[in-house]
Amino acid sequence: MAERNEVSRPVITKKLDEFFSGLAKAFRFVKRFFQEVWFPPYEIKEILRQSYEIGYRSLPLISLTGFIIGIVFTNQSRPSLAEFGATSWLPALISIAVVRALGPLVTALIASGKVGSSIGAEIGSMNVTEQIDAMEVSAINPFKYLVITRTLAATFMIPILVMYTDFVALMGSFLSVNVNELVSMSTFFVQVFEAISFLDIFSSVIKSLIFGFTIGIVGCYKGYNSSRGTEGVGQAANSAVVMSMFLIFVEELLIMQIVNAIRYA
């Protein structure tokens, strides 16, 4: 009888069941993070090690991408502004675009590809090879050692990386403006800082913290709940990237609406 019920169950119901039970599981995972993060042991050494892995090791990729984005965005914007004879507005335009949206978004997307997949694969592999079980039977809390450390490291390193990306992108933009419009560095940066407000910087930092948390927790969640077997490791890494990128875009949209509401209130 039970088997007949199983067979006759519509696929859509099954999928919805899976979706909502997955959502509940993810919610419990995030809840556990906020329940356990306040209590010792704090695993400072592991947080610093992860911060180094996430922050320092991402620098070459972030530097290159940020610099190129600065140059490309400036070069692409120039013709439109030139039509109105407004190329002198380039530094202001670039700074607003980079600080408000491009810097946080590009950094978060690169980090979700590099950091999120690496966290997902590492924890997934530890799950497959019973290293997480080995921690549990040694009376060590693997959630604290693996999940909280990595999530905190990502949460605090992404804003630093974002600030760095902003700076590198502006330097790229300056190079282009300097070569084409013969603008000095001091003039360029005076215009840059005149255009951006405290709200821009504050919202950028808050946004980056949220992006960092998302990348860390999604990578950990996918790795921690990976299915056993080598295929599960690959799937964990892949779905960590896909899921965190999706969430980053949704968060960007929501935060942008909130910040705009504050700005124009």
The site for another protein (CB under 8 A) is made up of 41, 122, 125-126, 129-131, 133-134, 136-140
Nearest residue (CB) to another protein, 144 versus 207: 144
Under DSSP, is residue 227 helix (H, G, I), strand (E, B) or coil?
Answer: coil
Buried b (16+ CB within 10 A) or exposed e, 36-74: eeeeeeebeebbeebbebbbeebeeebbebbbebbbebb
Give the shortest CB-21-to-another protein separation in angstroms.
15
On the question of a cis peptide bond just before residue 41, with omega within 30 degrees of 0, the verdict is yes
**CB of 140 or CB of 205, closer to another protein:** 140
Closest distance between another protein and the C-beta of residue 20, in Å?
Answer: 20
Query: How many helices (H) and strands (E) in the chain?
Result: 13, 0
Q: How far is CA 26 from CA 66, 218, 243, in A?
A: 32, 9, 12
CB of 130 to another protein, least distance (A): 4
CB closer to another protein, 105 vs 123: 123
Cβ neighbour number for residue 130 with a 10 Å cutoff? 12
CB-wise, 17 or 133, nearer to another protein? 133
Could you say which DSSP state residue 115 is in?
I
For 41: left if phi > 0, alpha if psi spans -120 to 50, otherwise beta; the answer is beta
Nearer to another protein, 123 or 161 (CB): 123
Nearer to another protein by Cβ, of 17 and 130: the residue is 130
DSSP-assigned letters across all residues of 24-51 = HHHHHHHHHHHHHTTSS---HHHHHHHH
Looking at beta carbons only, is 131 or 178 nearer to another protein?
131
Q: How far apart are CA 165 and CA 74, in angstroms?
A: 15
Report in angstroms how near the CB of residue 125 gets to another protein at its nearest. Answer: 7
